[in-house]
Amino acid sequence: MNKGQPIVLVSSYAPRLCGIATFTEEAREFLKKLYVTRDVLVISHIDGAGEGVFPLIDTKKRFWWKPVVKQIKKLAPHVVHIEHEYGLYEYVDERGIGDGNAGFLEFLDAISEYPIVVEPHTVHGRLRDFEENFIYELCNTADIVIFKSEYQKWRLNWTFTQRKWKMPNNIMIIPHGARPDMQWEDENIPRLKEELGLNKLEYLSSNLVGLIGWIQSNKRWDILTSMWEEISLEIKMKTGESWDLLAAGAMRDPNHMSDYEKYRQEIELLEQKGFAHYYEFIPRGEKYYKIMAVCDFIVLPSVDETQSGTLARIIALNKPFITTAPMEGLTAQALESEGGLLFTSKKMLKEKVIQLACDRNLRKEFSGNLKKYLNKVVSWEVIVKQYKYAYKLARLKKIKSIEVDLPPDF
């Protein structure tokens, strides 16, 4: 079969241990299922690898984008879809001074003949001056810009209005995708526990609360671990059931070493008393889902998230959850999905954990809500169709000069 022009994704990519790399890997998998007559190719950083992957981005070089432009011209793509995070494209000179993503904007100018869709993964509600200017320039240069949540768009409208800047009309809302094919029935959970080796831990309860994912300073596992023993005893007093904490993950950023060690020490103390277990693994691939699957619900006590790959996996598994508020993307998806509880203090977290552990019907209700939210809103099968529409709008603008008109809802 002669395939048409390829879709070209520009992003970090596996085997890099990076949330956006994993995100792009999943997005590509489902785009390939949708576009059977096109290749879905990736231009990645130099540590990316795999079939159809071109590892060309080396941000140690001031003009890192020139080899990328050359490859894009060679591929003559249907659309260029770029995953953006400031750190992914920042050039830092010999004095330690960054370019403020100026090279990224130069890159967009250099490929302006092609339809361009950019998906920024960090768009805070309250932007710094640099971020305001970057997003303004980004929206002027790209054909379509994808935000993950409505609040990001209406908040940007407020920000730009105060500056007397024109609000862009080319911002689409497409949520963070979640896999629709990673679920296990209750009867399969014992088998998963055996596969993970958890059945060998005689003290470990069959009722588990999960702290799962990359161990980073902003994830604040210590908020829960510092009072878990007290929580566990109170749940037992109320229900007669034994509940344990399953903390599972690994560190990926050496800058977080001190907090990683602190979190681990607290969990190991709980483990010695028979209240918790620490399970070290690299949070990616099917194992990530399996470890979450054995938990009755998940706590995600992050203090800095505009979106979350961890929450996407929680939703994929239909797992009830408790997370921090007000916390941008986490709060937005908790409210939209009706699948979790929110906390704003340690006292409130304690109360919500006890409430969810003691109320099986509430957990069942949240799980059902998440299943609907997954199937109708955030399943990758739904998301890639929205990408396809974004590509269509980008191509109409680039090829036929039909302006995109996506005004803010508020």
pLDDT tens, residue by residue, 302-312: 888 877 899 99
Q: Rounded mean pLDDT of 236-248?
A: 96
pLDDT range class, residue 192, cuts 50, 70, 90: very high
Band of pLDDT at residue 290, cut at 50, 70 and 90: very high
Distance CA(313)–CA(308), nearest Å, equals 9
Domain extent listing, the chain:
7-177+380-400, 186-378
Question: What does the pLDDT read at residue 2?
Answer: 62
Q: Which residues of 213-222 are buried (b: 16+ CB within 10 A; e: fewer)?
A: bbbbbebbbb
Weakest mean pLDDT among 21-35, 76-90, 203-217: 203-217
In the structure encoding, which two tokens stand for residue 262, read together? 């602190």
List the one residue out of 173, 275, 169, 261 whose CA is nearest residue 225: 275
Superfamily name with CATH number, domain 7-177+380-400: Glycogen Phosphorylase B; (3.40.50.2000)
Helices 150-163 and 129-141: crossing angle in degrees, nearest 10, is 100
Lowest mean pLDDT among 105-114, 389-398, 399-408: 399-408
Tell me the mean pLDDT in the region 194-209.
Answer: 91
**CATH superfamily of this structure's domain 186-378:** Glycogen Phosphorylase B; (3.40.50.2000)
| Within this chain, domains 7-177+380-400 and 186-378 share the same CATH topology | yes
- Is the predicted pLDDT of residue 410 greater than 80, yes or no? no
